[in-house]
């Protein structure tokens, strides 16, 4: 199997994402928030839409659409990783972080019809939209891929 170590990382990241979401589903009421410090709270929410709750007003068709898009994107990332040469280690790492986040949220959509969010960052009156570990993995993956592209053009 190509990229065996990265597939093990993928499994670990997806499991950590799913475990963290299960903890919040079993420990918090929907909408419940717990302030940890002036910058971070745990706030348990359901996101029926895409990033930043885009398309969250739709019904069953919208849920099926987002599930289909999530599935296609995840499959495309797997295809992309298999076509990426081993010399691009950072890019591959980024792709696997991206895949881990995509699959973590895909599992939520398939099982629940929504994505479980709980990380609530804020500074004074500015609140970032509540997110989860899978969203963080997507961000990290994109950053690693972008950085690799810039460094490979030197």
- Residues with a catalytic annotation lie at 117, 135
HSE value, Cβ hemisphere, 13 Å, CA-based, for 45? 19
Q: Which helix (H) or strand (E) holds 13?
A: helix 4-27
33 phi/psi in degrees, rounded to 5: -130, 145
Q: How far is CA 143 from the centre of its chain?
A: 13
**119: helix, coil or strand?**
strand
Neighbour tally for 70: CB within 10 Å: 20
82: left (phi > 0), else alpha (psi -120 to 50), else beta?
alpha
């Amino acid at each position: 199997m190509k990229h065996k170590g990265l597939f093990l990382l993928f499994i670990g990241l997806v499991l950590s994402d799913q475990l963290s979401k299960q903890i919040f589903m079993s420990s918090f009421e929907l909408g419940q928030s717990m302030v940890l410090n002036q910058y971070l709270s745990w706030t348990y929410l359901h996101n029926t839409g895409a990033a930043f709750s885009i398309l969250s007003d739709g019904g069953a068709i919208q849920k099926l659409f987002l599930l289909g898009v999530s599935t296609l994107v995840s499959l495309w990332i797997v295809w992309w990783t298999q076509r990426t040469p081993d010399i691009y280690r950072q890019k591959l790492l980024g792709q696997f972080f991206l895949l881990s986040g995509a699959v973590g949220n895909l599992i939520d959509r398939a099982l629940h019809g929504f994505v479980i969010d709980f990380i609530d960052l804020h500074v004074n009156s500015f609140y970032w939209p509540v997110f989860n570990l899978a969203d963080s993995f997507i961000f990290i993956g994109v950053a690693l891929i972008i950085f690799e592209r810039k460094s490979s053009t030197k």
